[in-house]
Chains A and B, each alone.
Chain A
Amino acid sequence: MLVVPALAGLAFLVLPLAGLLVRAPWATLPRRLAEPHVLEALRLSLVTATVATAACLLLGVPLAWLLARTDFPGRRVVRALVTVPLVLPPVVGGVALLLVLGRRGLLGQWLESSFGVTLPFTTAGVVVAEAFVAMPFLVISVEGALRAADQRYEEAAATLGASRWTVFRRVTLPLIMPGVVAGAVLCWARALGEFGATITFAGNFPGTTRTMPLAVYLALETEPEAAIVLSLVLLAVSVVILASLRERWVSAP
């Protein structure tokens, strides 16, 4: 009864990928891959997605804890706000970031005048755009894990005199580790594929802000075949990394 829709769902997700594989110009693939600009874009993508994920972990895990473990007025509204970047069209997200962090933005003006820091058109800007779009995935996963975790362990630790920080570090975090890793993986994958907010906020310049998705987009303008190759590279790299992570982490005790 369940198998038919399950297989239909699988076909729906996998067939477009098969389409890419079928249409890929295998003969010219090695030559295209060796091009320095491809490697440059790939490196930039991997670095920015990883840094963005680290930033999301630093800010997102405490935020998830706040949403799951404390009670404050307006918590529902805050949770809804956290998911805004998920529903915001990415280009709109990029414009919103410009209006806040751009040269004439609310915070951007002050950043430039006080520290001489400008985010748009820099690699840091790419990280900001990716983190903005990907963080909700992490927060939602971790919050779910926190709600599902048995709180009696934390209570027991607290009655034995552990401080809030110690409880979080020694009890809560190990308990929810699979959830954190799953969230981080989702977050990383989303950051890796980020296009709209990146090109709007950080622009597109080889070596600084041209990530793989941007390179794919531009390749499509002139050479669809090259775009397919680039997409496959990005997919292959992400699948390999995600699969190896899963083996290592999500089979938690």
Chain B
Amino acid sequence: MVTGRLSRRAAAFAAVLLLGTAGCGAGPTAATHAPADGGGGGGKVTVFAAASLTETFTALGRTFEAAHPGTKVTFNFGSSATLAQQITQGAPADVFAAASPATMKTVTDASLAATPATFARNKLQIAVPADNPAKVDELKDLADPRVKVALCAEQVPCGAAAVKALDAAGLKVTPVTLEQDVKATLTKVELGEVDAALVYRTDVIAAAGKVRGIAFPEADQAVNDYPIAVLTKAPAGDLARRFVALVRSWQGADVLAEAGFEAP
């Protein structure tokens, strides 16, 4: 669909209208605030998070629900840039966790988020199919024209990081495809359609056994910071602050470290 992305925004907008939770801070939204004594009490918190956080945040969401009986955490996972767009278009979100400071900046520039905090860092790895048909073992193998490489598009955080890392290594790589997000890039490797791709270390770990990850030194030149912020128009401001606190607590750090993220 030509206007697929636009219609998704329209859908978000329609949802705003239908749910009556438009970020005007009035009306029924007040009911979703948890009482200040921390008793939960049936609130609902909506978290927009980067696709690479799918596994970790889903787990943290369950932890949060267990700690606050009666609350419900709903997630919208996707490309950070898309989520930033949806938020600036008025989607009813409480928390935004992005895969790059640049995408967070879109939201802070629109004065829709308070000061973001970096809660995790992620590094690139070379992902190859489990049987490694092209015998890739270091970054410069990707410059070989016989090796089919998938990269993320430069417009999304993993693509920007890939460009940085390849520049740091002084390599010229011509990919066969520039994918729209990191999960799509990984899928191409899992299916064996490409011989190698640059994805995050966490994605390699999440794809348990289906792909092999190869670390490379230039990845240190292109580390991605993940900022998180409570949105200024959050319908469930209090719960949102608590969710962010959980992500930044030792519990959150444990879950993130297990998935392969580094501490900020």
* Residues of chain A whose beta carbon lies under 8 Å from any beta carbon of chain B: 16, 20, 90, 95, 98-99, 102-104, 120-121, 192-193, 195-196, 199-200, 202-205, 209, 212-213, 216-218, 220-222, 224, 227, 231, 234-235
Are B177 and A204 interface neighbours, CB within 8 A? Answer: yes
Taking CB atoms, residues of chain A closer than 8 Å to B232 are none
Are A213 and B1 interface neighbours, CB within 8 A? Answer: yes
Given known A-B contacts A200-B184, A205-B177, A221 and B153 have beta carbons under 8 A apart: yes
Are A213 and B188 interface neighbours, CB within 8 A? Answer: no
Q: Give complex CA distance A103, B156 in Å.
A: 26
Q: Which residue of B lies closest to A122 (CB)?
A: B176
Are B180 and A218 interface neighbours, CB within 8 A? Answer: yes
> Quick one: CB contact mask for B1-19 with A, threshold 8 Å, 1 for yes?
1111111001000000000
Taking CB atoms, residues of chain B closer than 8 Å to A199 are 179-180, 184
In the assembled complex, the CB of A204 is this many whole angstroms from the nearest CB of chain B, namely 5
Q: Which of B150, B180, B188, B193 contacts A217 (CB 8 A)?
A: B180
Count residues of B near A (Cβ-Cβ below 8 Å). Answer: 29
Are B1 and A193 interface neighbours, CB within 8 A? Answer: yes
Taking CB atoms, residues of chain A closer than 8 Å to B233 are none
**What 5 A-B pairs have minimum CB-CB distances, sorted nearest first?**
A203-B177, A221-B155, A121-B176, A221-B81, A104-B192
Taking CB atoms, residues of chain B closer than 8 Å to A227 are 5-6
In the assembled complex, the CB of A235 is this many whole angstroms from the nearest CB of chain B, namely 7
Given known A-B contacts A204-B179, A205-B178, A221 and B156 have beta carbons under 8 A apart: yes
Are B179 and A220 interface neighbours, CB within 8 A? Answer: no
Q: Which of A95, A200, A203, A235 contacts B2 (CB 8 A)?
A: A235
Taking CB atoms, residues of chain B closer than 8 Å to A120 are 176, 193
Q: Which of A98, A192, A203, A216 contacts B179 (CB 8 A)?
A: A203
Interface membership of B23, Cβ < 8 A: no
Are B176 and A98 interface neighbours, CB within 8 A? Answer: no
Q: Give complex CA distance A132, B85 in Å.
A: 31
Which one of A104, A121, A192, A217 has the greatest number of beta carbons of chain B within 10 Å?
A217
Taking CB atoms, residues of chain B closer than 8 Å to A90 are 1
Which one of B2, B7, B178, B184 has the greatest number of beta carbons of chain A within 10 Å?
B2
Q: Give complex CA distance A209, B156 in Å.
A: 18
Q: Give complex CA distance A202, B177 in Å.
A: 8
Q: Give complex CA distance A98, B156 in Å.
A: 24
Are A103 and B193 interface neighbours, CB within 8 A? Answer: yes
8 more A-B residue pairs beyond the given contacts A121-B193, A195-B2, with a C-beta to C-beta distance below 8 A? A98-B193, A102-B191, A205-B175, A205-B176, A213-B4, A217-B5, A221-B82, A227-B5
Are A224 and B85 interface neighbours, CB within 8 A? Answer: yes
Interface membership of B44, Cβ < 8 A: no
Q: Give complex CA distance A234, B187 in Å.
A: 29
Taking CB atoms, residues of chain B closer than 8 Å to A193 are 1-2
Interface membership of B79, Cβ < 8 A: yes
Q: Give complex CA distance A234, B6 in Å.
A: 14
In the assembled complex, the CB of B214 is this many whole angstroms from the nearest CB of chain A, namely 20
Are A16 and B179 interface neighbours, CB within 8 A? Answer: no
Are A234 and B2 interface neighbours, CB within 8 A? Answer: yes
Q: Which of B1, B81, B178, B192 contacts A103 (CB 8 A)?
A: B192
In the assembled complex, the CB of B91 is this many whole angstroms from the nearest CB of chain A, namely 14
Taking CB atoms, residues of chain A closer than 8 Å to B178 are 203-205, 218
Which one of B3, B148, B187 has the greatest number of beta carbons of chain A within 10 Å?
B3
Given known A-B contacts A102-B193, A193-B1, A234-B2, A221 and B79 have beta carbons under 8 A apart: yes
